[in-house]
């Protein structure tokens, strides 16, 4: 098994984040620092992360969390801010699937299943994410809606078309499948309607529902299977080729 996949299966991080951990020189295999994520490892190899032994975990957990404003979407924060991981008490190592900005609220997933995290966040799978955006300079006109649906030219390139519905004069429902930093906010800024409040309400087939801010619940087996199927159904190609749009989601 390749080292990055081994780390993901051990619940260290998603496969992509595990590759970064390896390249940073934080992993040793049988006493040797390894910086190649593609290095093969065997079940009997002695694999350490920052000097601590790791091994694949057998129990797979996925939680849905309603992230409040001011909570950061990381496992640890050097500035002492509350993290989404701190909202769920678990003896297993959990990490967020993708990211939301500190001031964005709503649905975020925590898991120790690196393969599922990879499937849900890798851009080649195009798993949709839906947001409620409260905007300024209401009402939103037809020209702005058309531009959002067609795709917006941003400083890092043109976005893919979004699905957009106007729910009220100052509220939009926006569905995207890319992973650019603060993408929904930048798209709305570009059409003259800065976002004043942003909440993610859906990730693939999973809805936030009536989960209270700061609360969490484990997903059922059927919900996890639905998430996995959503990733498979929308993947463009088995090769997983990406463009500059393939960045981790942080809306």
pLDDT tens-place string over residues 129-174:
999 999 999 999 999 999 999 999 999 999 999 999 999 999 999 9
Best-predicted range by mean pLDDT (51-60, 74-83, 92-101, 204-213): 204-213
pLDDT for position 240: 40
Query: Residue 250: pLDDT band by 50, 70, 90 thresholds?
Result: low
Whether the per-residue pLDDT at 231 is higher than 70: the answer is no
Tokens of 30: 């049988």
Do 25 and 83 share a domain, yes or no?
no
Do 7 and 109 share a domain, yes or no?
no
Do 190 and 67 share a domain, yes or no?
yes
- The domain that contains 9 carries what CATH number? 3.10.290.10
pLDDT for position 233: 57
Task: Read off the pLDDT of each residue in 173-180 and give the average, rounded to a whole number.
Answer: 91
Whether the per-residue pLDDT at 57 is higher than 70: the answer is no
Tokens of 11: 């619940």
Do 40 and 69 share a domain, yes or no?
no
Is 33 buried (19+), middle (13-18) or exposed (0-12) by CB count in 10 A?
exposed
User: What H or E segment, with its residue span, contains residue 221?
Assistant: helix 221-234
Is 105 buried (19+), middle (13-18) or exposed (0-12) by CB count in 10 A?
buried
pLDDT tens-place string over residues 9-32:
777 877 888 899 999 999 999 999
Q: Of 30, 40, 45, 101, which is the active-site residue? A: 101
Tokens of 79: 């500035």
d(CA 177, CA 123): 7
Please identify which residue in the block is written with the tokens 């190899």.
45
Query: Residue 58: pLDDT band by 50, 70, 90 thresholds?
Result: low
Region for residue 221 given its phi and psi (left: phi exceeds 0; alpha: psi -120 to 50; beta: otherwise) = alpha
pLDDT more than 90, % of the chain:
62
Do 7 and 94 share a domain, yes or no?
no
Please identify which residue in the block is written with the tokens 């890798």.
122
Query: Residue 95: pLDDT band by 50, 70, 90 thresholds?
Result: confident
d(CA 149, CA 249): 19
pLDDT more than 70, % of the chain:
91
pLDDT for position 34: 94
Task: Read off the pLDDT of each residue in 232-248 and give the average, rounded to a whole number.
Answer: 45
Look up the pTM and report it: 0.75
Do 140 and 32 share a domain, yes or no?
no
Q: State whether residue 6 is helix, strand or coil.
A: helix
Do 123 and 23 share a domain, yes or no?
no
Domain count, the chain: 2
- The domain that contains 166 carries what CATH number? 3.30.2350.10
Residue after which a domain boundary falls, among 33, 53, 73 = 53
Sign of CA dihedral 226, 230, 231, 233: positive
Do 136 and 153 share a domain, yes or no?
yes
Best-predicted range by mean pLDDT (27-31, 118-122, 191-195): 191-195
Domain that includes residue 115, residue range: 59-251
Do 41 and 125 share a domain, yes or no?
no
pLDDT for position 43: 75
pLDDT for position 241: 38
pLDDT for position 238: 38
Cβ proximity of 56 and 89 under 8 Å = no
Residue after which a domain boundary falls, among 53, 69, 84 = 53
Which residues fall within 8 angstroms of residue 111, CB to CB, at 6 or more apart? Answer: 60, 61, 62, 63, 94, 95, 97, 117
Task: Read off the pLDDT of each residue in 234-241 and give the average, rounded to a whole number.
Answer: 43
The yes-or-no answer on residue 40 being catalytic is no
Cβ proximity of 54 and 203 under 8 Å = no
Do 48 and 143 share a domain, yes or no?
no
Do 70 and 47 share a domain, yes or no?
no
Do 49 and 107 share a domain, yes or no?
no
Whether the per-residue pLDDT at 87 is higher than 70: the answer is yes
Please identify which residue in the block is written with the tokens 């299966």.
9
């Amino acid at each position: 098994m390749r080292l990055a996949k081994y780390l993901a299966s051990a619940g260290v991080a998603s496969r992509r984040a595990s590759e970064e951990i390896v390249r940073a020189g934080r992993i040793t295999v049988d006493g040797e620092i390894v910086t190649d994520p593609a290095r093969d490892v065997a079940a009997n190899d002695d694999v350490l992360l920052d000097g601590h032994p790791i091994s694949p975990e057998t129990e797979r957990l996925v939680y849905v969390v309603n992230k409040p404003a001011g909570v950061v979407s990381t496992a640890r924060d050097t500035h002492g801010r509350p993290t989404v991981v701190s909202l769920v008490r678990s003896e297993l190592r959990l990490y967020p699937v993708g990211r939301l900005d500190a001031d964005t609220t709503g649905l975020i997933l925590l898991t120790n299943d690196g393969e599922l995290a990879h499937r849900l966040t890798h851009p080649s799978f195009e798993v949709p994410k839906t947001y409620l955006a409260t905007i300024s300079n209401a009402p939103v006109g037809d020209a702005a809606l058309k531009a959002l649906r067609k795709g917006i030219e941003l400083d890092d390139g043109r976005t893919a078309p979004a699905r957009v519905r106007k729910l009220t004069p100052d509220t939009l429902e926006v569905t995207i499948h890319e992973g650019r930093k603060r993408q929904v906010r930048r798209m709305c800024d570009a059409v003259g309607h800065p976002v004043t409040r942003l909440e993610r309400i859906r990730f693939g087939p999973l809805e936030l529902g009536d989960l209270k801010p700061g609360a969490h619940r484990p997903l059922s087996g059927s919900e996890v299977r639905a998430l996995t199927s959503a990733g498979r159904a929308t993947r463009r190609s088995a090769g997983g080729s990406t463009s500059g749009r393939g960045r981790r989601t942080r809306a």
